Amino acid sequence: MKQSESLRESSLGEPLGLAVHRSTRTLIGPTGARVELPWLTLQLLSALSEHQPAFVDAKRLQALVWPDTHISPDALKQRVRLARQVLREAGYDPALLDSVRGEGYALRVPLVDAMPDAMSDTAPAISGNADAQSPTPDAVSPVSSRYRVTWWQRWRIAVVGALIFTAAVVAEAIGNWRSSPGRPQPLIGPVPVRVGIATSTIGDPAADEAARTLAAALQSALANHDKVLSVPMSDPAACDTSAAVHLCARSMAGAASVRMSVTDRRSGASLIDAEWQNATMVPSVFAQSAAHTQVALLLSPGVLRWIGGPSPVGDRDFASYLTAVRAFTTCDTVAWHDAIADLATTNARAPQFRSARALALVLQGASNAEVDARVLIDSAHTLLGEEPNLALARAAIVVAHTRGSAHDSASAAFQQLQRMSPGIASGTERALRCITRESPSPPRVLSR
């Protein structure tokens, strides 16, 4: 199947991505039509795709597309109009490039690099210059006899061919090594990550209402995370079959309890499984529950790309992270120490897994009363420099200040953490309460 066909539409009626061949600056439409992308239009779409699905305000977008040039707002509006025209010519809905007054501009779907075979479509390329067509075979002059290939040229062609073949073999070997078990595998499909939210009812009014309330609370929690879209599912079974869903989140009513589960649709791995015995208490306890924290940790920046590796249970680095997440939501210090050891191996193997590095810092600070708070804070600030939205790094700063008895600093950092991620803030507060079991007086962040 060609790239243009495989990206045609999701079950929501929108394409899963805009296929682009960057080296030739070509946009490939759903039916294979190819449209030349002007350089600035490609820069505009690329900038919006990097922030997708979030809106980018006009000033920020101008700085991304024209980094060294001062332009008028009209120039940006004109470029947006041209980009929508290109989308229309390729067969896409121009409304995929969205705009909201006061918010800025956004792409509903990301740019996706086109596969090489997508460029071999027979559909004609569309260009703004109708005269710039390729010459017909009759217009090409025959090759003169003086350009006949000599034996020396044949030898050079053979050598070059051998080198190209060798390079291809080496590239294939590297590709096989990179896709071997243990290597990080990307989440299926393009960003944003779509989480299907389904509700299963049993006909009991109280239990069913609690399940629906839980689904609404979960949807609200997902709304706080960038590049994550919640997709309400009318039929719980559709969550397992929809091509537009990466994760399935279900709220299920029971006779005396309500359950919530989150699974990876591709591998079937269970990521979160929580149960509340008293259905009527669900609305008030979910915001402070371990499940809320686990949702926030699961959606921490960069985590989702590690789900669903080559094994049925997912990538081993993600498995270590998920174990540490579950340990973090308990007061089991033995589990904390085991998680720290596992994360040390993960961080040595995959240092780019920043959320795992940050969670290790949080657990180190929470489990060790003699930790060097200054080293912990410096490490957390290094992570924030690499990933400013990494709430787990802010949580590490809260724990470090608490361990260092810098309660005012801990309280200020905790307030910042609450604004970044209420779920992770709730989990950090529980971890701090575990710390107070060892301390003669609770940190001020808990008595605010």
pLDDT above 70: residue 145: no
Query: Top-level CATH class of 315-447?
Result: mainly alpha
CATH architecture assignment, domain 3-126: Orthogonal Bundle (1.10)
pLDDT band (50, 70, 90) for residue 397 = very high
Contact 276, 293 (CB under 8 A): no
CATH architecture assignment, domain 193-287: 3-Layer(aba) Sandwich (3.40)
Q: How far apart are CA 108 and CA 300, in angstroms?
A: 21
Contact 30, 9 (CB under 8 A): yes
pLDDT above 70: residue 433: yes
Which of 29-33, 268-272, 277-281, 303-307 bottoms out in mean pLDDT, i.e. has the lowest?
277-281
For the residues 212-218, what does the mean pLDDT come to?
83
Positive or negative torsion for Cα 243, 245, 246, 252: negative
Helix axes 354-367, 316-328, angle to 10 degrees: 40
pLDDT above 70: residue 132: no
**29 CB contacts (<8 Å, ≥6 apart)?**
4, 19, 35, 89, 90, 91, 92, 123
pLDDT above 70: residue 287: no
Q: Where are the beta strands (DSSP E) in 47-139?
A: 97-100, 104-107, 111-113, 125-126
Q: How far apart are CA 118 and CA 1, in angstroms?
A: 9
- pLDDT, residue 311, reads 45
- Bridge partners (DSSP) of residue 28 are 19, 34
Contact 357, 392 (CB under 8 A): no
Tokens of 367: 């489990």
| Global model pTM greater than 0.75 | no
Nearest CA to 219 out of 228, 206, 210, 209 is that of: 228
- pLDDT, residue 309, reads 54
| Coil, strand or helix at 63 | helix
